[in-house]
């Protein structure tokens, strides 16, 4: 929302829609800096210094002098237009109330803070395509008691009860058992995402509340924070494979596209995860689009993780006797334990989107042929 022109916001949303992206995380009041090591700089057309309130010094990240008793209406009107444009393309916007980078917030629990939250709800809740996020890196500036109370307040004030979550740094600060808390929002950067998400599903199940498990921050393409060194590559291919690992664990994910094309730095056609803009040299989400095609080709929401049904360290989502989706991160072949009966089978190229039909197969035990090459592949087995 730091773009000055609706044209660029609309272009960015349209491009992501074309790439089969259906959800974005967008901050309402978060202000950040330009010290990430990315070529994304402040200029006439874009700023990282958002101004939802009137400010004496809007370009001062740490001392803007906000007047919390009033609202910068033009900024909120721009938000209205962006949400409407996204809604018409079936794109969900996760409204992240604030973030920690600037250390500038209304006082916790204050009248100013409640006025801000109430205004956001009154103004934006009528949009069907939103969810609420109490804040990015929330545990860095709010405690668990605040999170629990404020989550309840949002559900009380929002007449449409949109889904809500929060996004802490430390994943123990997930209000899993509370009625207001509709899905988790982790940040976990390892390249062992499958095991991590399976463990989160088990933790959630132990509470007696079944809600989606979502890793909203597991990497940004081409971005190497110092604290993430050694945790794994941030290449497009590594992140694409991580996405498969997450989804094959019955989880959900949000990824960040490269910002190496830059903003206010030549060629000035990008910004990626920092501001949503990209160009056609950026191809990471083409690979994610193949994943969308695979999972929307069957009733994925009826399946559960069943890695015990396959060998070789591969992953399996299944509705036993009906549907088996198998992911082979390193290609090769796999043996699948099936319920007796006949199944349609096909290969799916996770890297390319290619589909290859296989002869009819039969349970209760089937070993696939070798994958067509050494890249990662998926198998889809559907009961005839």
CA 35 to chain centre: 23
Residues 274 and 323 grouped into a single domain: no
Q: Which of 264, 295, 326 is where one domain is finished?
A: 295
Note down the domain range covering 189.
6-295
- Write the CATH number for 90: 3.20.20.80
Q: Which of 295, 323, 351 is where one domain is finished?
A: 295
Residues 188 and 313 grouped into a single domain: no
- What is the layout of strands, in order, in the sheet containing 315-319? 304-305, 315-319, 323-328, 377-383, 342-349, 355-362
Residue 273 belongs to a domain? yes
Block residue for tokens 């000055």: 4
Residues 147 and 225 grouped into a single domain: yes
**Sequence-distant (≥ 6) Cβ neighbours of residue 33 within 8 angstroms:** 48, 61, 101, 102
Residue 188 belongs to a domain? yes
Q: Is the dihedral of CA 177, 180, 182, 184 positive or negative?
A: negative
Q: H or E stretch including 152?
A: helix 144-157
The two tokens of residue 196 are: 């991590």
How many domains does the chain fold into? 2
Q: What's the length of the chain?
A: 384
Stated pTM of the model:
0.96
d(CA 109, CA 191): 38
Residues 156 and 276 grouped into a single domain: yes
Residue 147 belongs to a domain? yes
**pLDDT tens, residue order, the chain (384 aa):** 999 999 999 999 999 999 999 999 999 999 999 988 899 999 999 999 999 999 999 999 999 999 999 999 999 999 999 999 999 999 999 999 999 999 999 999 999 999 999 999 999 999 999 999 999 999 999 999 999 999 999 999 999 999 999 999 999 999 999 999 999 999 999 899 999 999 999 999 999 999 999 999 999 998 876 555 555 578 999 999 999 999 999 999 999 999 999 999 999 999 999 999 999 999 999 999 999 999 999 999 999 999 999 998 899 999 999 999 999 999 999 999 999 999 999 999 999 999 999 999 999 999 999 999 999 999 999 999
The two tokens of residue 7 are: 């044209």
Nearest CA to 2 out of 66, 58, 84 is that of 58
Burial of 343 (0-12, 13-18, 19+ CB in 10 A): buried
Residues 186 and 166 grouped into a single domain: yes
The two tokens of residue 68 are: 């919390």
The two tokens of residue 160 are: 């449409």
CA 31 to chain centre: 20
By DSSP bridging, strand 92-96 and strand 130-136 are parallel
């Amino acid at each position: 929302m730091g773009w000055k022109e609706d044209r660029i916001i609309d272009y960015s949303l349209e491009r992501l829609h074309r790439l089969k992206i259906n959800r974005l995380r967008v901050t309402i009041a978060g202000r950040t800096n330009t010290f990430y090591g990315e070529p994304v700089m402040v200029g006439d057309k874009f700023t990282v210094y958002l101004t939802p309130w009137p400010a004496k010094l809007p370009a001062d990240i740490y001392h803007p002098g906000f007047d919390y008793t009033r609202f910068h209406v033009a900024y909120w009107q721009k938000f209205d237009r962006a949400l409407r444009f996204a809604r018409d393309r079936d794109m969900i916007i996760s409204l992240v109330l604030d973030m920690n980078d600037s250390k500038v917030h209304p006082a916790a629990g204050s009248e100013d803070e409640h006025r801000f939250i109430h205004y956001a709800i009154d103004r934006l809740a009528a949009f069907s395509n939103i969810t609420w996020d109490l804040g990015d890196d929330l545990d860095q500036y709010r405690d668990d008691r605040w999170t629990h109370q404020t989550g309840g307040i949002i559900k009380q004030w929002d007449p449409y009860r949109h889904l809500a979550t929060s996004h802490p740094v430390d994943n123990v600060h997930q209000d899993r058992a509370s009625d207001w808390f509709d899905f988790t929002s982790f940040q976990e950067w390892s390249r062992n995402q499958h095991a991590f998400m399976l463990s989160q599903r088990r933790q959630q199940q132990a509470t007696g509340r079944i809600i989606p498990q979502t890793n909203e921050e597991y990497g940004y393409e081409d971005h190497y924070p110092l604290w993430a060194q050694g945790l794994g590559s941030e290449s497009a291919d590594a992140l694409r494979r991580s996405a498969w690992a997450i989804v094959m664990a019955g989880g959900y994910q949000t990824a960040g596209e490269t910002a190496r094309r830059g903003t206010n730095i030549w060629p000035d056609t990008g910004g990626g995860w920092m501001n949503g803009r990209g160009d056609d040299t950026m191809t990471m989400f083409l690979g994610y689009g193949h994943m969308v095609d695979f999972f929307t080709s069957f009733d994925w929401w009826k399946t559960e993780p069943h890695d015990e049904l396959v060998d070789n360290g591969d992953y399996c989502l299944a509705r036993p006797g009906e549907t088996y989706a198998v992911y082979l991160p390193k290609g090769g072949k796999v043996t699948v334990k099936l319920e007796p009966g006949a199944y349609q089978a096909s290969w799916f190229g996770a890297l390319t989107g290619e589909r290859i039909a296989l002869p009819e197969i039969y349970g209760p035990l089937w070993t696939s042929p070798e994958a067509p090459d050494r890249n990662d592949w998926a198998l889809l087995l559907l009961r005839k």
